[in-house]
Amino acid sequence: MNPSDSPQYTWAGRFSEPMSEVVKRYTASVAFDRRLWRHDIRASLAHATMLARQEIISAADLADIERGMAQIAEEIETGTFVWSLDLEDVHLNIEKRLTTLVGDAGKRLHTGRSRNDQVATDIRLYLRDAIDDILSLLKQFQSRLLDLAEAEAATPLPGFTHLQVAQPVTFGHHLLAYFEMTRRDAERFVDCRRRTNRLPLGAAALAGTSYPIDRHLVAELLGFDGVCENSLDAVADRDFAIEFCGASALVMMHLSRLSEELVLWMNPRFGFITIADRFCTGSSIMPQKRNPDVPELARGKTGRVYGHLMALLTLMKGQPLAYNKDNQEDKEPLFDAVDTVTDTLRIFAEMIAGISTRPENMRDALRQGYATATDLADYLAHRGLPFRDAHAVVGLAVRHAEALGVDLSELALADLRQFSALIDEDVFKALTVDGSLAARNHIGGTAPEQVLAAIARARRK
């Protein structure tokens, strides 16, 4: 039998019987790795160009390969390409179709490469594009976050510790904390992209190739910063995928924390914000419900991405060098992590833009929690009372106000002075929410003018 007559012609010459159907289904990856087709074609064209320049294949072969790949790309884009389970993966499907279209030129394309370095290259190209998309989406999310923060730069909000009212902050200042988180996320993705952007192609199966290839030319054609310098590591390395999932887990953790706050703030017991109806759902039985399904689902999807990180770490931990079939299992977790982060960032950018605030409820919550108690302690410390003593004095004052059912700012001056003779008329300025906010007028502080300055710095970044 001519090996080319077999659907699995690439290795049919070595085997005396066909692969069983159950093994074929078990080992095939074309159902999910077909999303790499653009990157596979792009890498193959760069490889073919290099082979022609090095006179390993002819100019006529290169022209045939380019013509065939253009037709294959059109077929895939229009949905007329026939994907075959018999051909196992995206690479063999494209190669078989190319050979059908252009004959021997298609068979020469694989000269000097292996599926091992081919797939490693395709995944890096795919992930590089995915990181670029995610960075763009992060920028959109940050921009919407800054828009809302600017609109609410002076809106007082209870700042919580232990989920108990602690001190006044502004809503804008609170949102800027998430800007800082996502700024670090962007830095991590940029750093991950730098390590991803190295070319494995030319490592062949594991040892390099005997053909006079020019790896730096291929790297230049594909926009890689350089080449993977050890052929074993080039085909065995999946650090870049693990690093990406690590960065993805962190950005999802940040979005999950924001989600938790959105769910709380939307609850009528808080009533601080309203999320637009298009991001909520109703109940099948309770007509009054507006459920914050988007942030709730983002919390759940965060665990999904954590799982992908652990899956890849576990996948790689016991593998000897170089390539092993285990590595086929890298794609589904990686692809799903890309999809989950991309979709979540896209919808969160839209959702943030659709949030409206209820400042009166925020102020009511501040009045219930003695949020300016620390300001009273600071007031006494400024007048010479050691802060620890001031802390104890204010604790007594809070207990008194609590017994009367009033805020500290609602106590009479005489009531306050029974706790310290250092207290004077000007104390009430310190006890107001706006006075508390204005007092924290330093970089990183919650004073409205500092919030606006921080937003200006963020926009420049």
Residue-wise pLDDT for 353-378, tens only, equals 999 999 999 999 998 889 999 999 99
Domain assignment present for residue 268? The answer is yes
Judge whether residue 414 has pLDDT over 60.
yes
Instruction: Give yes or no: residues 42 and 159 share one domain.
Output: no
Last residue of a domain, one of 316, 341, 363: 363
Annotated catalytic, 283?
yes
Average pLDDT on 418-437 reads 95
Instruction: Give yes or no: residues 431 and 303 share one domain.
Output: no
Q: Which of 136, 283, 356, 382 is catalytic?
A: 283
Instruction: Give yes or no: residues 269 and 160 share one domain.
Output: yes
The CATH number of residue 444's host domain is: 1.10.40.30
Domain assignment present for residue 9? The answer is no
Annotated catalytic, 6?
no
Instruction: Give yes or no: residues 343 and 386 share one domain.
Output: no
Cα 199 off chain centre by: 24
Q: Write out the DSSP string of 260-323.
A: HHHHHHHSTTT--EE--GGG-B--SS-TT--B-HHHHHHHHHHHHHHHHHHHHHHHHTTPPSS-
Residue-wise pLDDT for 334-358, tens only, equals 999 999 999 999 999 999 999 999 9
Domain assignment present for residue 15? The answer is no
Instruction: Give yes or no: residues 215 and 230 share one domain.
Output: yes
Q: DSSP code of 439?
A: H
Q: pLDDT grade, residue 5 (50/70/90)?
A: very low
Is there a cis peptide before residue 219, judged by omega within 30 degrees of 0?
no
Last residue of a domain, one of 334, 363, 392: 363
Domain count for the chain, please give it. Answer: 3
Q: pLDDT grade, residue 11 (50/70/90)?
A: low
The pTM score is 0.93
Instruction: Give yes or no: residues 267 and 298 share one domain.
Output: yes
Instruction: Give yes or no: residues 165 and 260 share one domain.
Output: yes
Instruction: Give yes or no: residues 181 and 91 share one domain.
Output: no
Judge whether residue 8 has pLDDT over 80.
no
Residue-wise pLDDT for 203-222, tens only, equals 999 999 999 999 999 999 99
Instruction: Give yes or no: residues 436 and 327 share one domain.
Output: no
Domain assignment present for residue 3? The answer is no
The CATH number of residue 310's host domain is: 1.20.200.10
Domain assignment present for residue 52? The answer is yes
The CATH number of residue 54's host domain is: 1.10.275.10
Average pLDDT on 119-146 reads 98
If 0-12 CB within 10 Å is exposed, 13-18 middle and 19+ buried, where does residue 140 land? middle
Domain assignment present for residue 192? The answer is yes
pLDDT at position 107:
97
pLDDT at position 25:
86
Number of residues assigned to the chain? 461
Average pLDDT on 384-412 reads 95
Domain of residue 265, residue span: 116-363
CA distance 379 to 360: 27
In contact, 457 and 449? CB cutoff 8 Å: no
Q: Which of 16, 162, 210, 442 is catalytic?
A: 162
Instruction: Give yes or no: residues 404 and 449 share one domain.
Output: yes
CA distance 247 to 107: 40
Last residue of a domain, one of 338, 363, 388: 363
Instruction: Give yes or no: residues 172 and 307 share one domain.
Output: yes
Domain assignment present for residue 10? The answer is no
Cα 4 off chain centre by: 44
pLDDT at position 12:
62
Domain assignment present for residue 4? The answer is no
Instruction: Give yes or no: residues 299 and 417 share one domain.
Output: no
pLDDT at position 6:
45
